[in-house]
Structures are given as C-alpha cells and as structure tokens.
Amino acid sequence: MFSDFRIAIRRLLKTPGFTSTVLATLALCIGANLAIYAVVDAILLHALPFPDSERLVVIYNSYPGAGVDRAAASVPNYYDRRNSIKAFSSLAIDGDGSLLVGGAEAPARVAMARVSPEFFSTLGVPLAMGRAFTDDQLSYGTDEVAILTDGYWRNHFAADPHVIGRTFINDGITIKVIGVLPRGFHLLSSHAEFYRPSSHAPADRQPTSRHSNNWEMVARLAPGVTVAQAQAQMDAFNVEQAKTDPFAQIIKGAGFHTVVAPLREDHVRAVKPTLVLLQFGGLFLLLIGAVNLANLLLIRASSRSKEVAVRQALGASGIRIARDVLSETLLLAVGGGLLGVLIGAFGVRLFGVLGINQLPLGAFVTIDSRVASVALAGSVVVGLLLAGPIIWFNGRMKLAQGLHSEGRSGTAGRAAQRLRHGFIVTQIALAFVLLAGSGLLGLSLKRVLESPVGFNPNSVLTGRIGLPWKNYKDDASKLAFVERLLPAVRALPGVSQVAIDSDLPFSGPVNDSAIVVEGYTPRPGETLRAHYIQTVTAGYRSLMEIPLMRGRFLEDSDNHRKPCACVVDRAFAEHYWPGQSPLGHRIDVGANLDTKNAMVVVGEVATAKQMELSEKTEHGTVYVPFDKFDPPGFFVLVRTALPIASIGPMLQKEVLRLDPQLPIDDLRMMQTRIDDSLVGRRSPAILAGIFAAMALLLAGVGTYGVLAYAVSQRSREIGVRMALGALPQQVLAQFLGIGAILLGIGICLGAAGAWLTGRAMQSMLFEVGSFPAGVLAATTAVMAVVVFLSVYLPSSRAARINPVDALRDE
C-alpha cells in the first residue's frame, strides 16, 4: 500500500487543478460538519464531568392546568423527599444568584450559587480542601460560610494553601471559607465562583410553603434503579402526601405532578432539536459534496479509460486497479479531512461570535483530539464511499471499449452517463431541501422579529442593582433608597426618564405566581392560574411606552397607599373579564384572597412580551408598586439619547455616590437584551443559509462539470450533426432539455424532502407552516436559475462548435 500511495501522490501532483478542487470541497464539507459536531458533542453527547453522570436526574414540579409546566421545587420538597424516596441515593437543591463582594473600595457583583449540604456528594465531586456544608448552616444567620471554586481561590486568594478559615466580605457580611472545589469543576452552565448554603427561614419548611418552588433539585439514582422506577416512586409519594397537603384540591385541579428526568437531557432540552437539525444540515452538505466529487471522479475515470485498458492488457488485475483507485481517494479524503479540522476550528470561533456560549453548556465547545479523530474517521469513510463508483466503472468497462478512441460508446458508457445524471438529480434534490429548510428558518426569524414586543426598547439603558441584606433589612430601607435613586438618576445629563423593574423582560426568569381573583368563577376543569408579576415604579409604563388601555398606571403615592393598587395587562383582563373593564376588581397573590391586603385594579395596559419574542401572550402580567414586595434586587431603566459609553459611567458613579458599597452592573441596552434572546433562532438561520449557499454552489458546479464533459466527449458527434444541417439552436435545445429534465426530477424529489423537513421542524418555527407556497416558489426559482446557468454555459459552447474543427480534431 505504501507503493500505491507514492504512485497516487505523484499522479495527484500532476493534476493540481483536480486535486485542489477535491481537497477544497472535502475541507469545506468536513469542516462544516466538524464545527457543528463539536457543538453537538459538547452539548448533547459528551458525558457531564461527574462520576456516573448518567445516574444524575433533575426533579421539578409541574402545574399544567395553571399554565406552569415547569416550576422547580420547594424547601419542604427537599426535606420531604431526601430520605423518603428510596430510588435516590442522594438528593440536593441549588439556586443561582449573585452577591456583592468587597467593601466600599472596590465593590463587585460576583456570580454564586446556594446549595444544600449533600450537593457536591450528590454530584460525586469531592472537595480539594476543607469540608462541605452541614444542616446546621441552612438557617438565616448561620450560613456565613462559603466553598470556593478553584478559579476564585486562585484569582482572589492567590492560591493560598491555607485559605481554609480566611474571610471575605460578601453582601456586607464577613464570610468564612470552609472549602475549595477541585480544578476544572463547573456546574453545567452556571458561572458561580463560590457557593453558600441554601439557607432559609423556618417558616419556609412548613407544608404551607410546599408549592413555593424556588430551588432546582438534583438527585442521584440508587444502584440498579432506572428513571422510570424513580418516577413511579415519586408519583406514589405525591399521592400519599396529597392526603395532608393544605392545597390538595387546588393542585389537583392544576394537574400537579413531579417530573424526574435525566439531568443532561433536561438541561439541553430547549436546544436539542435545533442542534440535531443543524447536524443533519451539515450531513446533507457533506452528501452533496460527496456526490459532486463522485461525478468529478467518474469524469476523471472516463478520461483515463484508455490508460486503465492498457494496464489490463498488460496483465493488471481488477484488484490491482481497485487498489490504485482506493489509495487515491483515501489520500484525497484524509488530506481534505486534515484541512477540514482547521476549517472546523475556525468555525467554532465563528460560533463564538454568533453567541454559542449563551446556549446550555455552550461555553465548553472545543475541538479536542477525540472530536478531530471522529472527523478523520469520517474522512476515511468518505474516501471509501467515493472509491465505490470508480471501481464499479472500471469493472464494467470492456477492454476493447477502453482501447477504442471513443470511450463514450457502449453499454458501460451509457451506464456511467446514467449514474452521473443520477448524481446530478441527487445534488439538486439535496440542495433544494437545504435551501428550503434555510428559507423556513429565515421566514420564521423574520416573523419573530416582526412580532410586536409591546414596548419601545430603543434608547433604553438597563442595569442591575442588588441590595445587600445587611444594609437593607426591611422594606422601609429599600423603598427609601429607591426614592433617593430615582431623582438622582433623573437629574443626570441626557436622561429623560427613569424607572425601576424587579423582573426586566428578556433578562431571565420572571416572577410567576398564582393569582386569585375575587368573584371569578373558574371555567369547567379550570383552576388557579399563574401570571407574571412585575414590581415597578410609577414611570415604568411611560418610559417603556406601553399603551394604556383603561384607567391609570401606578403613581408614586401608590407606594404608601392602602389598599394596594395594581395594573393588569390586556391578556390578564381578557381572561378574567372578557369584554369588560377590570377596573375596581380585587386580586391577590396566592391561593386565597386576603380581603385586608388584596390589590385593587386601577388600570389596564397592552400586553408586552416578557421572556422571548415568540412567546404566547396569553399568560398575563400584573404590575404592582415597589412597596408591595420590595425585591432584594431590581433593574434600573434609563431612557437616554446618549451612547452607553457616555451614560454608563455617569450612572455607575451616581449609584456609588448614594451608596459606596452598591455597584450597578449588567449595563446593556434593552434592544441588546432582546437581540441576545434571539441567539437560538438567529444562529441556526445564519448557519442554514451558509449551508444552503454552499450546497447551491456545489450543485451548480457539479451540473456544469458533468454537462461540460458530455459536450467535450460528444464534440465529434455534434460536428457531424451540424455538418449534416443541424442548427445551433437545435443543439442548444438538446442539452438544455437534458438539464431541464434533471432539474425537474431533482425539484420534485427535493420538494418531497423539503415537505418532510418542514414537518420535522415545526417545533422550531414561529407562525410558519410545513411548506409555505412562498418558500416553495422562491426555492424553485433559485434552483432553476443556478441549474440553468450551469446547463446553459456548456450548452452554448456545444452550439458554437465548428464542424470542420471538430472533424479535423478527430
């Protein structure tokens, strides 16, 4: 084989145009697939960095009847389940957050997480130093300890080997370090740099808080237990617990149940369909490239038919000739694969620009030796597959036919021609599917972007402030700070309006709570519903330019007025009072109406999107004054004509002037937040467009190459026909007719494939059917133009053949 490879190298070097074309095609197709596979591997395939990670499951409550399919778990759930369900060898809770670190000199907000004592043992992660939390540290006031990540230990404690026992300031409280995690540990997509106990008030453990779902729950299956068995035990446990649940009737109507799901599968559930679609798109592209190269190799084999025939006449066996073909295609495939690894690495960097790090586990996408070896193994497979048609062609060729100067004649020639035409049809069909899929994603993205957001995000700067508990323990101190902050920010140059929102749209999960409405009679089978609740200040509506439908919006005086006023959106009002005014009606948060503390509806506004542009707007939102809940953290919104580089530092300076220990961070324009929420739609549409463009190019080049070769092989025949009176228009029509037939068959097959693709993509599309007529027409038109140009160029050359020159050459 070494001798075969040396001969193949010399042969390929003699045809640099052919060799470079094959290598470039393979490199692009394999590189595109490798880049997508690196993402799929990191997010969907690669094992989580925990021992026996396939035994880790996530547990969450669901209330589909109340409009809440996923609601995490509660503190009582943690205490009730951790020792009662034998299917779990260990169970823990965790919750992401952020806290202020440092004093007045350099306050900074750092990502952290709160976890229960069993959390790291549940994951199977031993501490590198120190010890884990204990149950005694799960109450407020006893939780002043922390476990550091390796990175935080190295960056902020200079990798001090005696760090255990050292302290640092966290939200104004002195926190003692009791442990350090091993190097390389990361919790899924969390950016936490240290961990604190999942502390809570004693009242949070009572059965009345059983459905206050604020914590993620993770568990490790006991040996020999399956997910299905764990789910069955959880269901049985819920049935028994419902007998003493104070909200038994309400949760029954809400369809309450608990879901046990594999940790990784649950974590990536939202992006899995998109990634699978993109990987199939990449494979389609690779298949188109392989078909293109198979045609090119068949053409080359036809041109070398005399050489092969001479070798056969001199005694070369079929196996020997097949080895030559195999060595050549393997060399080309492996060379293309090596170049593809480089292109794939560039593609991964491009994905970073497209926002791949915002996807679950997207920060860990890389091309390592394992991923690269998959690409090279795939290249070898491609090389073997490409060798097949050439070996078949050489095997069918008869010796006399090969030695004859007109290798186009004979059965083998017709069979090879049919094979080449079949490859063209396959290219057209596959390119049609890719182009149609790209069109569907593009149309879906267009309709998402056209979907009204419900407010005006232009020229709105947003930033987050978290109030440390030590300095802002009661509601009065929080409200006092806000009432000092608003006029101070409003006085800044270039600021026209300012407001505060506890749950800013497009900035993460929004407070979603059950609402009870006085006098409302639920429809048959209906129960309490959950709605978004936003704590805002008086200027929020006018700053965001949300249309006022009825009544008034909140006023500054509502922070001190009883009964508490609230404003509902159109979706909320239409659900409870269809066609009527909601003004004057009373509502309350929770399962029961507290007549003393119920809120009175004073206004109705238009519905605004909260989580994403493609969300359904029927969920409903209630706006309440800041004094109602006094959240520990909130967003500051500023409408300004100044760029963020100018207004941002002024805003930060003003907040520090009011409280030197209180920074404002996460400064972003509101439009930027909306744009970031579209990464899951924009990136696939862009990649699909790139794949479709490459597929069109390959299909066009492949069609042109086959017909150009056919013209060159039939130049004598064309010359004779024209000498006998055939018109150039007739010759042109003949070849255009061949192209039209191939195009028609390819489009019909492609349309069927595109329809199936559209049906499979429905969960990823927004207000787009399986195959809209506009996409079908546009795809057909583009394919027709590309194929027509690819057919017309060699056809016009055939029509211009000079009979005398053609016959003289023969």
- Kind plus residue range of the DSSP H or E element containing 779: helix 773-799
- Kind plus residue range of the DSSP H or E element containing 11: helix 2-13
Sequence letter at residue 79: Y
Q: What are phi and psi of 464, to 5 degrees?
A: -105, 140
Closest alpha carbon to 664 in 438, 426, 461: 461
Per-residue model confidence as pLDDT tens digits over 254-289: 888 999 999 999 988 888 888 888 888 889 889 888
pLDDT band at 412; cut points 50, 70, 90: very low
Per-residue model confidence as pLDDT tens digits over 444-464: 888 888 888 999 999 999 999
- The answer to whether 37 touches 31, Cβ cutoff 8 Å, is no
Q: Hey, what's the torsion of the CAs at 275, 278, 283, 289, to 10 degrees?
A: -150
- The answer to whether 735 touches 707, Cβ cutoff 8 Å, is yes
Closest alpha carbon to 787 in 691, 700, 698, 697: 700
pLDDT band at 46; cut points 50, 70, 90: confident
The count of other CB atoms within 10 Å of the CB of residue 32 is 25
Closest alpha carbon to 32 in 248, 408, 285, 328: 285
pLDDT band at 105; cut points 50, 70, 90: low
Considering only 12-26, 158-172, 274-288, 544-558, which range has the smallest mean pLDDT? 12-26
Q: Where are the beta strands (DSSP E) in 388-494?
A: 460-466
- The answer to whether 672 touches 521, Cβ cutoff 8 Å, is no
Count CA atoms closer than 13 A to 347's CA, side-chain side: 26
Q: What is the Cα–Cα distance from 101 to 228, expressed in whole angstroms?
A: 43
Q: For CA atoms 174, 179, 185, 187, give the dihedral sign.
A: negative
Q: What are phi and psi of 401, to 5 degrees?
A: -65, -40
Sequence letter at residue 724: L
Tokens 């211009």 sit at which residue?
800
Per-residue model confidence as pLDDT tens digits over 361-407: 877 788 888 888 988 999 999 989 988 888 877 666 555 555 554 44
Q: Does residue 16 have a cis bond before it (omega within 30 degrees)?
A: no
Residues 6+ apart with CB under 8 A from 146: 112, 168, 170, 175, 176, 177, 178, 194, 195, 196
Q: For CA atoms 434, 435, 440, 446, give the dihedral sign.
A: positive
Give mean pLDDT, residues 759-768: 84
Between residues 417 and 553, which one has the greater pLDDT? 553
Considering only 149-153, 195-199, 224-228, 354-358, which range has the smallest mean pLDDT? 354-358
CA distances from 516 to 510, 527, 531, 564 (A): 19, 10, 10, 15
pLDDT at residue number 1: 67
Q: For CA atoms 531, 534, 540, 545, give the dihedral sign.
A: negative
Q: Which two tokens stand for residue 92?
A: 């823990």
Between residues 108 and 533, which one has the greater pLDDT? 533
Between residues 56 and 798, which one has the greater pLDDT? 56
Per-residue model confidence as pLDDT tens digits over 291-347: 888 888 877 777 666 666 676 666 667 677 777 778 888 888 899 999 999 998 888
Q: What are phi and psi of 24, to 5 degrees?
A: -65, -45
- The answer to whether 745 touches 753, Cβ cutoff 8 Å, is no
Q: What is the Cα–Cα distance from 486 to 498, expressed in whole angstroms?
A: 7
Q: Give the global pTM.
A: 0.81
